[in-house]
Amino acid sequence: MNGLLMKLLLLPLLFSVFGYAGTYDYSYSPLSSAQESGSTMKDPFLYGDFEKIIRFTALQFDGEALTADSQKSLDTIVKTIESYQEDGKKMGITIIAHTAATTDDQNENTIESDTYAGKIIRWFSKDLDRNASVRISEGFAEEVQKLLADRGVDKNMTTLENRNGRDQAFSDATSEGRNLSNRVMVTLYLFTQEEVDSDGDGVFDSQDVCPKTPQGVTVNSKGCPLDSDGDGVYDYKDQCPGTPTGVEVNSGGCPFDSDTDGVSDYADQCPDTPPSFKVDPHGCPLSKKLMLTFTLRSSDIRDESYPEVKAFAEFLKENTQYKAEIVGHTDSTGKKAYNMALSQARANAVKEALIKEGVAASRLKSRGRGEFDPIADNRTQEGRQANRRIEVKLYY
């Protein structure tokens, strides 16, 4: 008989352990529960709409202190709350304390009496009257609230409730079962937040990767301003749109121009040109073609061509960093040796004219190329005329 009695006592305890996960399920309503128990759960947030409700593992008490395992569970609760706070989530937290089942209020006087009936009832009772249960469960809830506050959780987010001897998760037939019923349930409520678009770019804040975009700026589906040339500078800030892919740019979206010659580094075929040098579109010092005419088979510069000589002399005097090589060319009429000598004589004549106009001789060189570098067809009169020319190469 004693063995049978022991089995009857252990069976509900084992059943309650395996069934524990279902005792506090998603159908539980702290608000209605509070109203039933007469608790003063004050927070109206429980009427709200929630994006998510997270019910944590029960915190068990051993006497007045949390068990070691529950201390670890408390750390998990705090980390979870912190992670949602970092995401800017609005939340509420309920802390609901439970104790073992209590005796009936109307029998408390009898139980507390020294009568024979009182002794018998106390022997069979669960040793916890309702008033004591209220005090204990209140203490459990307040202790968890304090422990959370000590770890940085704002007390204003927490709402307490004591369930006294209600909602038993374990058998009341044994002291072990009654001790396991001394627990606190912590639940995190994440509010469903109304979608807002703070920067007015047409993308809700929850999806906006680039918040605070200036008004009127066109954005992509992630709320980021467009960067059409992919240089890392948004179009509305890009002072040089259309930069080729892969070109390094400054904060204004413009390619670098290290030698400040007006030609970007990626296109500059002559880097490190000295400051203030005039360059061609490739970033190289300018070359110039002087459209001069000479007396037939002579190195004498015609009067109508002399103004161009003077203009070039002024350029050299204004840009003293340049030196010039004057190169003479002829058409293919006549012998090659004659043409070579003629081209040299014409180059020398231009050099002397520049010196006469005030350009230092040390800045000038002359060279003849004869008929070797034609730029047009020598079989036509127009072509031969184009080939009879003076070219100037500028260098420094």
Q: pLDDT tens-digit profile of 162-217?
A: 876 666 555 555 555 566 678 899 999 998 877 788 888 888 887 889 988 998 89
Q: pLDDT tens-digit profile of 301-336?
A: 888 889 999 999 998 998 888 899 999 999 999 899
At 79 the pLDDT is 95
Q: Which amino acid is at 382?
A: E
- Residue 164's closest CA among 111, 112, 102, 94? 102
Distance CA 43, CA 160 (A): 9
Q: Read off the pTM.
A: 0.41
Per domain, the residue ranges of the chain are 25-191, 287-395
- Residue 294's closest CA among 322, 328, 320? 328
Q: Which two tokens stand for residue 94?
A: 């309920």
pLDDT, the chain, mean = 79
25-191 has CATH 1.10.10.410 classification: no
Q: Which two tokens stand for residue 290?
A: 């002087």
Torsion of CA 194, 200, 204, 210, to 10 degrees: -140
Distance CA 246, CA 260 (A): 21
CATH topology for the 287-395 domain: 60s Ribosomal Protein L30; Chain: A; (3.30.1330)
3-state secondary structure of 82: helix
At 120 the pLDDT is 45
Q: What is the mean pLDDT of residues 80-98?
A: 89
Torsions phi, psi of 9, nearest 5? -75, -35
Q: Which two tokens stand for residue 371?
A: 């008929």
3-state secondary structure of 48: coil
Q: pLDDT tens-digit profile of 14-24?
A: 434 333 333 34
Asked, colleague to colleague, whether 25-191 and 287-395 share their fold, the answer is yes
At 38 the pLDDT is 43
Bin 378: left if φ > 0, else alpha if -120 < ψ < 50, else beta.
alpha
Bin 167: left if φ > 0, else alpha if -120 < ψ < 50, else beta.
left
